[in-house]
Structure 1
Amino acid sequence: MIAASVTETIQFYHLDPMNVVWHGNYVQFFENARCALLDQIDYNYPQMDQSGYLWPVVDMRVKYVRPCRFGQEICITATLKEYENRLKIDYLITDAKTGEKLTKGFTIQVAVEKATGEMLFASPECLISKLEPLK
């Protein structure tokens, strides 16, 4: 499957009062990697909008394995796992230097027709046509 990785250095503004990354910031890290993945298939949010479909996140899981700390460089990898009926993307955050697993998770997005607000039960052809050649 298709994967993309981004790196980020943990900044002071990422931290909570316990001096570890606040749990809500992991969602932003996932989003950064997801956008890199969607860029690879030329179907990021502007292209989704132009195709007439919105792709809201309808489910998400985050499993915190070890905390991220100030100054730490992390690698966030997003891997496309499903696309025929929905977009399921798995995420893995590791320490960029040691490779130690820090966090993992997934998101699920579904196609919604922009004009009608109707959810599709299968991914639209505009997405399938971009991914089938890459299989």
Structure 2
Amino acid sequence: MTPYEHKVQYYETDGMGIVHHSNYIRWFEEARVELLEQLGYGYDRIEAEGFGSPVLEVHCKYKTMARFGDTVLIYAQITEYNGVRMALHYEIRDEQTNALRCEGESRHCFMGRDNRPVSLKRSWPALDRVFAAQLEAQNAANNGEA
């Protein structure tokens, strides 16, 4: 999948001229939204079908600082998926130097209109197959089978 590109804005920085830590979590979300769009199932489509995907957990490890004017590439990949829950891993890298700025993870579940957990395997098999195939492809790539 194509990484999400983000140019650091002035308002995203703190008094020291570096990106405030809270923005990396926002960038994870931007990359997740882009990944779903690339898979053909953007949040708008998922919500129109009556499903939601709330965040259960989010973790971020800060490595190096991004600054105003930098462009970063955010790589998002599905690392776990079982039909009810999904985990994604993120890497944020400087576009010019490839330096790792931060990495993290988010965990989500799937819910129906009644705000109760649902299994996509039963409720939306087409989306289940897309997520399962993406996880399988990612695992194959990570194991050098691509």
TM-score (norm 2): 0.81
For the aligned residue pairs, the C-alpha RMSD in angstroms reads 1.7
Could you say what secondary structure the match of 2:105 adopts? strand
Q: Name which of structure 1's ranges 80-89 and 29-38 shifts more when overlaid on structure 2.
A: 80-89
Q: Equivalents in 2 of 1:133, 1:19: separation in Å?
A: 41
CA drift of 1:130 comes to: 2.5
Q: Equivalents in 1 of 2:99, 2:133: separation in Å?
A: 33
Could you say what secondary structure the match of 1:52 adopts? coil
Q: How many residues align?
A: 131
Could you say what secondary structure the match of 2:3 adopts? strand
Q: Which runs of 5+ in 1 are unaligned?
A: none
CA drift of 1:123 comes to: 3.6
Q: Equivalents in 2 of 1:19, 1:27: separation in Å?
A: 18
**Structure (1/2) with the larger helix percentage:** 2
Q: Is the 8 A contact 1:58 1:108 kept in 2?
A: yes
Q: Is the 8 A contact 2:81 2:132 kept in 1?
A: no
Q: Equivalents in 2 of 1:10, 1:42: separation in Å?
A: 27
Q: Is the 8 A contact 1:4 1:78 kept in 2?
A: no
Match of 1:91 in 2: 90
Match of 2:117 in 1: 119
TM-score (norm 1): 0.87
Match of 1:6 in 2: 4
CA drift of 1:132 comes to: 4.3
Match of 2:130 in 1: 130
CA drift of 1:112 comes to: 1.0
Identity %: 27
Q: Equivalent residues in 2 for 1:9-28 (5 A)?
A: 9-28=7-26
Could you say what secondary structure the match of 1:28 adopts? helix
Match of 1:49 in 2: 47
User: Looking at both structures, which has the greater relative contact order when contacts are Cα pairs under 8 Å and sequence separation is at least 6?
Assistant: 1
Q: 1:113 to 1:67 in 2, by over 3 A?
A: same
**Structure (1/2) with the larger strand percentage:** 1
Q: Is the 8 A contact 1:20 1:69 kept in 2?
A: yes
Q: Is the 8 A contact 2:53 2:111 kept in 1?
A: yes
Runs of at least 4 residues off by over 3 Å: 122-125, 131-135
